[in-house]
Amino acid sequence: MTRVAVVTGGSRGIGAAVAVEFGRLGYAVVVNYHSRRAAADAVVDAVAQAGGQGLAIAGDMRVPGDAARLVRAATESFGRIDTLVCNAATPIKQAAFADMPWEDFAAKLTGELGAAYHVTQLALPVMRKQRYGRLVFVSSGQAERPGAPGMIAHGSAKAALNTFTRYLAVEEGPHGITANVVAPGYVHTDASAAVGTEEFEAVIAARTPLRRVAEPIDIGRVIALVGGENSGFATGIVVPVDGGITLAP
């Protein structure tokens, strides 16, 4: 039996890294993307080169119909869904609370949770029928420990995602389904490059016990571990993947 992983936001960064890692483990991987078709196709090729099978499906996970199309494509193509990685995220608008319009704050909260809510609710009947499933939600260290200025909307949304996951762990455990969070710190990606200068990354690295910033594969490997077959008795946990920076004084 070939295991099947669905990765939302899988065309670049952490999503691309975890898709390829599941490919290395022999999974069939459904790579969801929003608008970067060429990038998603490149990830599918990388999954195949790693030893798996790949399929790219477009869709905005905040839209129920798009989420339904993704789940349908996975089940029609591969017959099952073993792992769902909810990595799709909404843009971050940095601002102090005093300067943030409610519309921006609400958009981040509803967008972040919507991108996890719709696809998860649609994938659960498939997993329940199998009596097996791994739900993995990509959060952030900002949910537990406020860090960079202007991240209140992002941190609040990710904190809500963490609580959402814990409730799922309790409700879905009797059906053989686990639900866990992987919470990265700062990760060097194309998206972070827009805000993280070399000087900024040097400061982060100096504060991190492992003395470097994370690369997407660092997060992808942990997601694949949490979302894999050997994690069956771990549920409702938040796994920080930050090189130990939250431990530093």
Tell me the pairing of strands 177-184 and 53-58: unpaired
Query: The domain spanning residue 170 has which CATH number?
Result: 3.40.50.720
Report yes or no on 246 lying in a domain.
no
pLDDT tens readout for residues 61-71: 999 999 999 99
Examine residue 243 and state whether it is found in any structural domain, yes or no: no
Q: Which residues contact 204 (CB under 8 A, 6 or more apart)?
A: 185, 186, 196, 213, 245
- What's the CA gap between 76 and 10, in Å, rounded? 19
Please give the pLDDT value at position 67.
98
- With a pLDDT cut of 70, the percent of the chain lying above it is 98
Q: Is position 248 within any domain? A: no
- To the nearest whole number, what is the mean pLDDT of the chain? 94
Average pLDDT over residues 140-158: 88
Would residue 245 count as lying in a domain? no
What tens digit of pLDDT does each residue of 180-222 get?
999 998 888 776 665 557 788 888 889 889 999 999 999 999 9
* pTM confidence score: 0.94
Residue 123 lies in a domain: yes
Within 13 Å and on the Cβ side, how many CA atoms surround 153? 25
Count of the separate structural domains present in the chain: 1
| DSSP conformational letter for 148 | S
Asked if residue 177 belongs to a domain, the reply is yes
Structural domain that includes position 169: 4-238
